[in-house]
Amino acid sequence: MPLQNRVTPEGEIIAHAARGLMMGNRGGAFHDERQVLGRRRWVSRQWICCVLSFKDRRRQVMAPGRYTELFFLDEATALAAGHRPCFECRRHDSLRFAAIWAAVHGGNGNGRAMAPEMDRALHAERIDTKGAKVTYVARLGDLPDGAFVRLGRQPHLVWKNQLFPWMPEGYAPPIPLLSDVASAEVLTPRSIVAVLRGGFVPGVHPSARDTDGC
């Protein structure tokens, strides 16, 4: 049976055999010795998105006392769930993300945002006081590539003037960015949407990249 460690764009953690292109964590361990999640879904505000391979390190997934490894279809999915690039294994990406964050949100004079600053902002934007996903409504035409919206109860990726329905194993065939749908419920946190609009281009699964016209 697959472990419950796959993250959806809505931030939920599900069990699915597909593992995706990225991994990450939420600040520590919230699984037990049987590799089963408890009631918690995070340990700290430090929700990060990492590469699958780094410096030949080897890990036992969900080892006792170690952080709970999470997996994402792609970076756009991780961002929608409220994770940011890791400063260790993704140094270049994280510095660019932090620099754009400072440019669009106002910096601290260092030219880039600090991790605790971003984590505080994101934690308020991804979950409410009851732990439920925070969403908001925005015009579809105003959203940048890489943002996620919920349409018909299903997450869709905004990418190259199309909407790609999300599935754990990849994206379904896209539909045009419908002009008659003026607005949609946005899953990606506001601060991250601003970073995407500022020029940060997230990695997406080949099922979106390899579509004709993309």
**CATH topology for the 136-209 domain:** SH3 type barrels. (2.30.30)
Alpha helix positions (H), the chain: 75-81, 91-105, 115-126, 190-197, 206-209
- Pairing, β 70-72 against β 22-25: antiparallel
* Strand arrangement of the beta sheet that strand 22-25 belongs to: 13-15, 4-7, 70-72, 22-25, 48-50, 84-85
Greatest mean pLDDT among 6-20, 176-190, 198-212 lies in 6-20
- Tens-digit pLDDT profile for residues 156-201: 999 999 999 999 999 999 998 875 567 899 999 999 999 999 999 9
> What percentage of residues in the chain have a pLDDT greater than 90?
77
Model's pTM, two decimal places? 0.93
Asked if residue 194 lies in contact with residue 138, where contact means CB atoms within 8 angstroms, the answer is: no
What are the structural domain ranges in the chain?
136-209
- Tens-digit pLDDT profile for residues 56-91: 777 788 888 889 999 999 999 999 999 999 999 999
Question: From the CB of residue 134, how many other CB atoms can be counted at a distance below 10 Å?
Answer: 16
d(CA 5, CA 35): 10
